Structure 1
Amino acid sequence: MITDIESATPALCRLQLGSELRDLRLKAGLTSRQVVRKLLWSPSKLTRLETGENAAVETSDIMALCQIFEADPETTELLKGYAAVTKTKRDWWQSKEYRPVISPSFKAFLGLEATASGLQDYESEFVPGLLQTEAYVRVIHQRAHQGLSDEEIDRLVAVRMTRQEVLHRESPLKLTAIINEAVLYRQVGGSAIMRAQLAHIAEVSAAPNVRVQVVPFELGAHAGMNGAFMILQFRDRVALKPIVYFENLADGWVTRREADVERYEESFTDLQALAPGPQESVSMIKKAMKEH
């Protein structure tokens, strides 16, 4: 339960609202199908509410659900408060500054990342986004998005840097990052930028909510060779099961299919077991710094 609704983000309110609505429905002994029939809703509308996917939630919808679930007045008012935040406040990525450079699929990912409790990230070509320095980010965007104006590049960089606030919030995201050794030696922007970038990884990895491991070349074939992926985990694993996110130059997408998610979870577990531990991995990072 959110103790201070006024200061809560819309993304967090949507997630909490969805979790509590689902709990109320189950306590009332109702299936999703029964609820949508009573309200003449589409099944997807209730699913989006329970998984926190709606950008804004109508108070009238919450009142209708609370009536069906026979929620007490105090609970009803609390859920209406969550809904009000989604209508009156915007998440940072919805601002005019960022909207022009954020695709709909990435906007959806940002909402998931903002509410996730954990993120498992395997990267084969570049430093994980939540660990990148501003200079490193800028070089990547300049190379990947040739033709964009300096202002648009500045906005893309600002998006990446603002994302990193999830590592420092009141209940920080738990990041487990596994990096291919090639990332440490790929020259992105020159030696000075790479030294600063690797020093930043070593510094941030000392935080209790951050774990970094490096997969050495010498280990040969491994479970991450098909490409980078992220697994987002949520506190309420019943209402929001883990999701796998992929990204390429053109777009990003997620899979919620249970069998696919399990395969990627197993792959990440294999990578964790294969790679040296955090302390040895930091030693590898510092060695690469010297070679730059």
Structure 2
Amino acid sequence: MRQRDILRHTLRRLRQEAGLTSTQVVRTLICSPSKLTRLETGENAVVETADVMALCEIYRASPEKRALLLGYAAVTKTKKDWWQSPEYRPAIAPTFKAYLGLEATAAAVCNYEGEFVPGLLQTEDYVRTIHRRAHERLSADEIDRLVTVRMTRQEVLHREAAPLKFAAVINEAVLRRRVGGPDVMRAQIEHLAEVAELPSVRVQVIPFKVGAHPGMNGAFTLFRLGDAESIAYQENLGGASVTRKRADVGLYEEAFNDLQILAVGPQESLGMIREAIKEH
């Protein structure tokens, strides 16, 4: 589901949970009934953050929910540098800004993951579980900001003009490892199956039976930019590295091509994903 759709659904649900009618909200917000209708139906192509803040105040939404909805509203403005805004900067490490810039401007992204679902395909609960485990020293507010950043990134897959072409290869272990309990994991795998059917998304799974493969050295991402240029990105506990060197990038490109060959095709992979749903 696109961020704009989540925004309209959530705003309507918050109003209903607050026990307020549209008329009551309009009187408090001092706006026309049609404006609230457009916000709740998604007719507005751009949603102003001030409107979202006002509605969250009326509905007494939690800080977590407010941060998430403000992030979604920011996405509707289709700013490629959304992460530079004040609400996001505290949650983004300087080294990761380069990654976000590449992701926002790339024509295509290739990603191998051996431990978890690729970030662009994660659900909110799955993201939150990972961050709570990986960043145990962070406060709840800091975790909320990290989650908001992750969810906002996913808009690149749903752009009206030229959605990002995303090819992912994942280890079968990603489907089996239970992150956040059965409910969280089942919802995540269901979401993965749904997104895998987008025209611009290709997901393949490497079965355990393949044995050793080129991805065993760790996860990596390839950004394909204009003029046939590619950039490779790799991240671990010690930090992140970005390389443009043709020889180094070529090694990652060769590894990803090999992984795609070793993995089962998209349709068979979708079958494996759907089987995993039953297991959770």
Fold shared, TM-score > 0.5 on shorter chain: yes
- 8 Å Cα contact 2:80-2:104 kept in structure 1: no
C-alpha deviations, 1:125-145, integer Å up to 9, x for none? Answer: 000000000000000000000
Please report how far the alpha carbon of residue 157 of structure 1 lies from its aligned counterpart in structure 2 after TM superposition. 0.2
Q: Deviations over 1:106-137 (max 9, x none)?
A: 00110111000000000000000000000000
Name which of 248, 267, 271 aligns with 1:260: 248
Percent identical residues:
66
Go from structure 1 to structure 2 and tell me whether the alpha carbon gap of 1:282 and 1:90 turns closer, same or farther (over 3 Å shift). Answer: closer
- Residue by residue, what CA displacement relative to the aligned partner does 1:231-282 show, whole Å, maximum 9, x if unpaired? 0001332xxx200011123532211111111011011001111111000001
Letter matched to residue 99 of structure 1 = R
Match 1:140 to one of 130, 154, 177: 130
| Preserved contact between residue 80 and residue 105 of structure 2 (Cα < 8 Å) | no
Paired with 2:248 and 2:180, the residues of 1 have a C-alpha distance of: 36
Query: Deviation string for 1:190-232 (max 9, x for gaps)?
Result: 0111111011011001111000000000010111111100000
What residue number does 2:155 align with? 165
Tell me, in whole angstroms, the C-alpha distance in 2 between the residues paired with 1:257 and 1:90.
25
Q: How many angstroms apart in 1 are the aligned matches of 2:276 and 2:180? A: 15
- Identify the residue that residue 227 of structure 2 maps to in structure 1: 236
Query: Tell me, what secondary structure is at the counterpart of 2:203?
Result: strand
Structure-to-structure mapping, 1:41-120, within 5 angstroms: 91-120=81-110
Cα RMSD for the two superposed structures: 1.2
Q: Quick check: 1:119–1:174 contact (8 Å CA) kept in 2? A: yes
**Greater Rg over alpha carbons, structure:** 1
Q: Is the 8 A contact 1:123 1:178 kept in 2?
A: yes
Query: 2 CA distance for matches of 1:114 and 1:213?
Result: 23
2:128–2:147 CA contact under 8 A, matched in 1: yes
1:171-210 to 2 correspondence within 5 Å?
A: 171-210=162-201
Q: TM-score, normalised by structure 1?
A: 0.67
With the length of structure 2 as denominator, give the TM-score of the two structures: 0.70
SS in 1 for 2:104: helix
- The residue identity in structure 1 corresponding to 2:254 is E
Q: Structure 1: any 5+ residue segments left out of the alignment?
A: 1-88
Kindly tell me the number of residue pairs found equivalent between the two proteins.
Answer: 201
SS in 2 for 1:225: helix
Question: 1:142–1:153: 8 Å Cα contact kept in structure 2?
Answer: yes
Change (3 A) 1:284 1:153: same
Instruction: Find runs of 4+ consecutive structure 1 residues off by over 3 angstroms.
Output: none
CA distance in structure 1 between the aligned counterparts of 2:244 and 2:227, rounded to whole angstroms: 15
Query: Per the alignment, in what secondary structure is the counterpart of residue 172 of structure 1?
Result: coil
* Conserved? CA contact 1:144–1:249, under 8 Å: no
CA–CA separation in structure 1 for the residues paired with 2:264 and 2:162: 28
| Alignment partners' CA distance in 2, 1:251 and 1:232 | 18
Correspondence 1:126 to 2:154? no
Q: Is the 8 A contact 1:119 1:175 kept in 2?
A: yes
Contact 2:222 2:253 in 1 (8 A): yes
Q: Secondary structure at the match of 1:122?
A: strand
